Structure 1
Amino acid sequence: MSVCKKLKLDENLCKNLSHNCSNKKLQKEKSITQEDYIKLKHYLREKKKILKSYPRVVNNARGKQSQINDSGKSESPLTINELNELFLYSVYGPGKYVPRWCSLEMQCNVVQTCILLIDSGDIETPEDFSTFKNYFPIFPKYNFLPPLEIELPSSWCTKKEMECESNEIVLNKSIKNKKHDEVCSKLSLLLSLNQLMMHNYPLPTNKSQYSYDGFRFTQNHYLPVSEDSPMFAIDCEMCYTSIGRNELTRVSVVDEKLNVVYESLVKPPNKITNYLTQYSGITASKLNGITTTLQDVQEDLIKLFPANAILVGQSLNCDLDALKLFHPYIIDTSIIFNLNGNKGSKSKLKYLAKSFLNMNIQCSGRHGHDSIEDSRASMLLVQQKLLNSLTYGDAYLIGQKRLAEFINTPIQLKNLESFKKFIVLLKCITESSAQGSIHVKKQFIEAYDGLWSTKQFIIQEHSSNKAVLDSLCNSMNDISNKFCMAHMQLKNKKNLDLVNRWCEKYWAAIPMYGLCAVLFTGFGYNKNNSLCFLNVKQPPLPTLKKDW
């Protein structure tokens, strides 16, 4: 039952009891004294105050899309980086890392962040998922959040298992392979479906945010995109209208040769209340006599773009929203360039053009922006990146690359790239002032070895799962450890009763106000993803002694 519902029920109880006191016809055993009523009122006030201080994880629309339904599927799994954002936020606090798929309320009261990673699960079908849930009564018992699907596959296997794997991956540090990894292509710059959703691009599936009213697809049928697919850069200008939002008033499109292939002023259907001239460059005189409508522009662009066109722009989600168009192939310069190294932050087009093209744009001051100039700058930025590497102009990716080079050791792993993304979490936490400990089975230690140079972080290897769990619980008993993690391996995949007992012991050791995460790899099609259970351990509420 949610906190709001509990409080509402308690308040209703208080009102009912107050009413009972004033009702002389009530039986004597159901009435309370004025003194008892005051005590009850004070208790409810204190209870409400306590509940407000409890940390809790609350999923937003993005987080709910990753929740697994009864059929064992989610609408859109969380990426490893998205999950890491929550853990880093719990350790660092507000500022550097903020999860965009959930909120961690009262983060300041979180005393410890704990992760239990259990490798090599076997949950591929809805039947497997149903059986799995039946073996783990711990999660509903302690009110864990609904399970989330994470893009984290099983990372480990033994050398013998590797010899049996046809898709063996052996780490190679050669310069040739490094250069190959850095090759930048149109396909590598395209936004994934998860990125389109995360950056609020108009999508026909996102019913909660976008209405289908007036939206159209740029094509009835799309062709597969390739390196030969043409790119078109778009920039739109908008004005504020009487419906309380910005509407399209100008659109410019340039091709890869920077030729203007489409340019039009647009008359919005609603009355303009603010021309936003300092940004849009639009004035009343410019729109005088303009009869082109949004529908006219949609028709023109649908005829202009081929079925495999790649659209380029700066924060293009705003332009497509104004155009009321759906398009699947997007390169967004605000995402592929990153100046400060903080994931999710976006630099202005003006600064990107100056930094990487030595171009001065948007210099008209109060006269506003020029959409042709801005669309050309976006196209040039993408072309500049294609001439260099995937990490060019992206401080965040450069940091990840350096980390990957740091942890590249001659160990045999499968799904290595996914593990690298997860290990970024540990590296980032060691850069904080937090104290912590990591406990892993012996066969895993080689990949973790050498990650920490600080004294406050300790990594320990153990010969068995039991030893790993015991050491983890001992570390969690020391609340000076702000981060604790264990990496275990389930050998007998049918022995889920044992794993439930592991989780019970793990939960019992977590301190009050500790953020708890349990991850099971080997979930979904081809076992490419993981299940994640989240909760914050909360103390029981005080009880009221009733004398009536």
Structure 2
Amino acid sequence: MDHRPETNMNINSGEPVTKKRRTYNDCETETTGKQKSELPPLSQKKETRIRKKPVASIRLKNSGENAALTVPTDNRVPLLLTDVQYLLLHSLLGNINLIQPPRWYVIDKCNNVSQTTCIILEGLSIKHWEKYRETMLKTKKIFNLVVEIVTPSVYNGSLVRELALVPLSESEKETIIQQYGSMNLALEVRKDLMIMMRAIFPVRNGVSENFENISLEEKFSRTQLILSAWQLIEENYPVPLNGKLRKLYADYVMSKDEYSPVTATSPMFGLDCEMCITRVGSELTRISVVNEKHEVVYESLVKPYNSITDYVTRYSGITKSILENVTKRLEDVQTELRELLPPDAILVGQSLNTDLHALKMMHPYIIDTSLIYNLNGERSKKPKLKALAREFLNEDIQNQRGGHCSVEDSLACLKLVQLKLSRNVEFGDAVHLKRQTFKQNILKVATQQQYACSIFNHVIEQKKTSLVVGCDNITGDYHTYLKQAKESLCNQFKKNKSKKVKLITVDTVENVIDTVKKSVDDYHLVMGHIKLDQSSDDTQMINKIDEWIEGVWSSLQESALCVIVFGGSTDDNGVAMMNVKGATIIK
């Protein structure tokens, strides 16, 4: 800002008058050049001072802190690319568009975020940051929040594709639509479901959804009820993520060596376990599995290796005499389940995380009846299976004096899911039913066969502007999602094609950075994507990147959010670092 005096002519005397420009919290006011004695006392001045907006800032919650690089590698729980995308979307759309607080961070004064800039550096991984962190002095000074993320490079996915796609689960989509109308009207989640599952589980490539195969008895795809990858983590399901979780579940086995993509015709199996208390904790003593025809396809008692201290008979139905001649062990059950379950099996149960921990098994496709049904309108309060069976199935279960029956419980869960599929997504969910105003929007989306929806849809919907900059080895991929975003919303709202999202192809990576720096004041979201030359000297490349990042940071206005993403490699995860310009950095 220029603070030099300005000179104008006095219209009465024709003599030059010096005008002094004063700045009050970035708001300019002007006064003519009177003598000091002629100025009124400060208390009598008519000048109005406009209070400057507080600068937004970002800090980590527990999930974010667990992923921070300050945590030892073996104790770290990486975030997903989903989490970084959610941050970008949140900074753009503000708090009003959230159905619940973000799981891993807090943006204080979020609605004061002035602009968002994201630089993606494809070809760098967490190993580069760990090796050259002390060399990247400028970057290190700017960013105090650095977290490990699972990126598509680890499982041979497309970084461009997954950065562009908005990563919300199907259940989140429906809830958001009901609460806020058109914000996510075009969302379709199936690609995100498989993208993030492949980041964690060995899911082979293939088509993940086929709406034409939905049975006549089902009103929507059963895949809409499956928990997303981050929901599995949040609900304490065992998942094989690198770091702390992999170490924690080192003695767990996967239900299959390789999985198929889940579809609308993937078979569902109701599963329930009963446990007793041993000297080391809760251990498996009975398991039941039922199929969609309500037939028992697997039933077994299990003998724990550790001595039982409490049979908990009133709940488990297990007594000392029942287990007296049992020889089957946990590993036998694991082997038999791995043989029984197909590679695209959907497991159904009530708080099934407890059962999987008892089995010491991991599985990607889960429908949890405690999450898809709700009786009180508060998502944090999970209903009891007994109450759900009584309310929706008109059945009185768990009423035997001898304790619970795992066949009865697993069958009740499967019936509840089948009942919901025969009605609609909001059936039996008080959280959904409170928002009937948006029911038509839900039905509209549920019938749309859109297999992808990009972050740019939301930019357009919310009347925001966005710019993507890259070389021709990058921008061709982005073009698909930009075109889709425009055409999708054009079809839905019958408007002319929007020009709010722009794609620029430049010749060199230096041009990418220069264009980003020149454009940050003109767009709400600026994304610069660089694919680095792997043959170049690492030290020289790192020094350049350090300069680039500082240059981009210097070009940002106050309260702008800056996110830097290292895209990872086939062997190593990536890194995300973030900060808000002008925010106080807490070391």
With the shorter chain as reference, the TM-score category is 0.5 to 0.7
Structure 2 letter corresponding to 1:155: V
Following TM superposition, by how much is the alpha carbon of 1:92 offset from its aligned partner in structure 2, in angstroms? Answer: 1.7
Give the aligned partner of residue 374 of structure 1.
Answer: 409
- 1:444-463 aligned at under 5 Å gives the runs 444=479, 446-449=483-486, 459=500, 461=502
TM-score by length of 1: 0.53
- Identify which of 331, 337, 353 aligns with 1:305: 337
The 1:365–1:381 alpha-carbon spacing in structure 2 relative to 1, beyond 3 Å, is closer
What is the CA–CA distance in structure 2 between the aligned matches of 1:263 and 1:270, rounded to whole Å? 21
Write out per-residue CA displacement over residues 167-222 of structure 1, whole angstroms, 9 at most, x where no aligned residue: xxxxxxxxxx9974776899999989877545423468789679989977599xx6
- Alignment check: 8 A CA contact 2:67 2:147 kept: no
- Alignment check: 8 A CA contact 1:74 1:149 kept: no
- Identify which of 200, 204, 229 aligns with 2:236: 200
- Identify which of 540, 545, 565 aligns with 1:519: 565
The 1:498–1:399 alpha-carbon spacing in structure 2 relative to 1, beyond 3 Å, is farther
The 1:68–1:304 alpha-carbon spacing in structure 2 relative to 1, beyond 3 Å, is same
Give the aligned partner of residue 507 of structure 1.
Answer: 553
- Identify which of 266, 273, 282 aligns with 1:236: 273
What is the CA–CA distance in structure 1 between the aligned matches of 2:522 and 2:445, rounded to whole Å? 33
What is the CA–CA distance in structure 1 between the aligned matches of 2:208 and 2:244, rounded to whole Å? 42
What is the CA–CA distance in structure 1 between the aligned matches of 2:70 and 2:444, rounded to whole Å? 32
What is the CA–CA distance in structure 2 between the aligned matches of 1:467 and 1:303, rounded to whole Å? 57
Following TM superposition, by how much is the alpha carbon of 1:141 offset from its aligned partner in structure 2, in angstroms? Answer: 1.4
Following TM superposition, by how much is the alpha carbon of 1:334 offset from its aligned partner in structure 2, in angstroms? Answer: 1.8
- Identify which of 528, 534, 537 aligns with 2:578: 534
What is the CA–CA distance in structure 2 between the aligned matches of 1:178 and 1:193, rounded to whole Å? 15
Write out per-residue CA displacement over residues 267-292 of structure 1, whole angstroms, 9 at most, x where no aligned residue: 993348x88x6xx4x68xx8585556
- Alignment check: 8 A CA contact 2:252 2:362 kept: no
- Alignment check: 8 A CA contact 1:334 1:348 kept: no
Report the 3-state secondary structure (helix = DSSP H, G, I; strand = E; otherwise coil) of the residue aligned with 1:449: helix
**2:151 matches 1:151:** yes
Following TM superposition, by how much is the alpha carbon of 1:375 offset from its aligned partner in structure 2, in angstroms? Answer: 0.9
TM-score by length of 2: 0.50
What is the CA–CA distance in structure 2 between the aligned matches of 1:211 and 1:531, rounded to whole Å? 20
The 1:68–1:93 alpha-carbon spacing in structure 2 relative to 1, beyond 3 Å, is farther
Structure 2 letter corresponding to 1:320: L
- Alignment check: 8 A CA contact 1:117 1:520 kept: no
The 1:449–1:214 alpha-carbon spacing in structure 2 relative to 1, beyond 3 Å, is closer
Give the aligned partner of residue 295 of structure 2.
Answer: 259
Following TM superposition, by how much is the alpha carbon of 1:359 offset from its aligned partner in structure 2, in angstroms? Answer: 3.8
- Identify which of 511, 528, 533 aligns with 1:488: 528
Give the aligned partner of residue 326 of structure 1.
Answer: 360
What is the CA–CA distance in structure 2 between the aligned matches of 1:541 and 1:327, rounded to whole Å? 42
Give the aligned partner of residue 39 of structure 2.
Answer: none
Structure 2 letter corresponding to 1:142: I
Following TM superposition, by how much is the alpha carbon of 1:96 offset from its aligned partner in structure 2, in angstroms? Answer: 0.9
- Quote the RMSD (CA, aligned, Å): 6.4
- 1:411-450 aligned at under 5 Å gives the runs 420=452, 423-424=454-455, 426-427=456-457, 436-441=464-469, 444=479, 446-449=483-486
Following TM superposition, by how much is the alpha carbon of 1:536 offset from its aligned partner in structure 2, in angstroms? Answer: 3.5
Structure 1 letter corresponding to 2:58: R
- Alignment check: 8 A CA contact 1:440 1:487 kept: yes
Report the 3-state secondary structure (helix = DSSP H, G, I; strand = E; otherwise coil) of the residue aligned with 2:528: strand
Gaps of 5+ in 1: 1-52, 157-176, 409-416, 476-483, 543-548
Following TM superposition, by how much is the alpha carbon of 1:309 offset from its aligned partner in structure 2, in angstroms? Answer: 3.1
**2:84 matches 1:83:** yes
What is the CA–CA distance in structure 2 between the aligned matches of 1:254 and 1:379, rounded to whole Å? 8
- Work out the number of aligned pairs and report it: 423
Give the aligned partner of residue 270 of structure 1.
Answer: 309
What is the CA–CA distance in structure 1 between the aligned matches of 2:519 and 2:542, rounded to whole Å? 21
What is the CA–CA distance in structure 2 between the aligned matches of 1:130 and 1:541, rounded to whole Å? 21
Following TM superposition, by how much is the alpha carbon of 1:346 offset from its aligned partner in structure 2, in angstroms? Answer: 10
Write out per-residue CA displacement over residues 477-517 of structure 1, whole angstroms, 9 at most, x where no aligned residue: xxxxxxx3112344885677665555334423545555431
Report the 3-state secondary structure (helix = DSSP H, G, I; strand = E; otherwise coil) of the residue aligned with 1:519: strand
The 1:502–1:80 alpha-carbon spacing in structure 2 relative to 1, beyond 3 Å, is same
Following TM superposition, by how much is the alpha carbon of 1:140 offset from its aligned partner in structure 2, in angstroms? Answer: 0.4
Gaps of 5+ in 2: 1-54, 153-157, 162-206, 215-220, 433-440, 507-511
Structure 1 letter corresponding to 2:337: F
